[in-house]
Structure 1
Amino acid sequence: MAKTCFTEDHEWIRLDGDIATVGITDYAQEQLGDLVFVDLPEKGKALAKGDTAVVVESVKSASDVYAPCDGEITEVNEALSSDPALVNSAATGDGWLWKMRLSDASQLDGLMDADAYAKHIA
C-alpha cells in the first residue's frame, strides 16, 4: 500500500515503489481558490527538498509548490496544462502535479502523516 505524507506547506507525497507522486492538499486548493494556470516543471529536473518545483496561479494569487524530498522528476501531469481546475476538483487524485524518483526515501520520515496534518490545519 502506498504511504502518503504531508508537509507544513500543504504538499502531499505518496510513495509507491520507488516513484513518488506529489500534489497540493485539498486544504491548499481551497485556500487558493479556482486555479487558472499550473507552471509544470521539466521531466528530468533534479530537485532538492524545499526547492520550488511548480507555480500554481489562481484567481486570487500565484503560489509556489515545494519539493517535499530530494529527487528527479520522472513525469508531470500534462492534463493540467489544459485543465488546471483538476487540482480543485481532485487535489489528491487526478490533480497530482508531478512524479519523482526519490534520492533519499528516509526524508519521508520527517513529514507528517494524515492525523498530524489534520491537527496542523485545525
Structure 2
Amino acid sequence: MARRKDIIRLRGENVCGAEADRVPLPHPDVELASAVGVPGEVSNEDVLEAVKLRDGADVLPEQLKAWCAGPLAAVKVPRDVLLTDQPPLTYTHSRPCNHAWGENGAGSRKRLS
C-alpha cells in the first residue's frame, strides 16, 4: 500500500502515485518519471507527470500523455506533463520523491499541455 502522501485525490478516486510513475518508464525516450497531485481546476487534485528524458530524446508532452492513456484508466491519465532535467529523488537517489514536488511548489508551475 502506498503512503498517504503518495495518494492523489482525483474526482473522488484515489490514484496511487507509484502506479502513475511506472506507466511512462517503458517509453524509449523516458529515463525517470514522477507523478504528483497538484491543485486541480475541477477536482481536489490533478495528476502532474514530471519526466526526465534520455540524452538526445525529442518527445512532446502530448505524445507522453497519449502513451500513458493506453494502460491507465482515463481518469488517471496525467493532465499535465512537465519535462525536467531532474525530478526530485529520495535521499538514496534510487527513485523519484513525489511529495517533494508539493514542497517545491509544483502547483505553481506553468502548465505545458
Structure holding more strand per residue: 1
TM-score using structure 2 length: 0.28
Greater relative contact order (CA < 8 Å, ≥ 6 in sequence): 1
TM-score using structure 1 length: 0.27
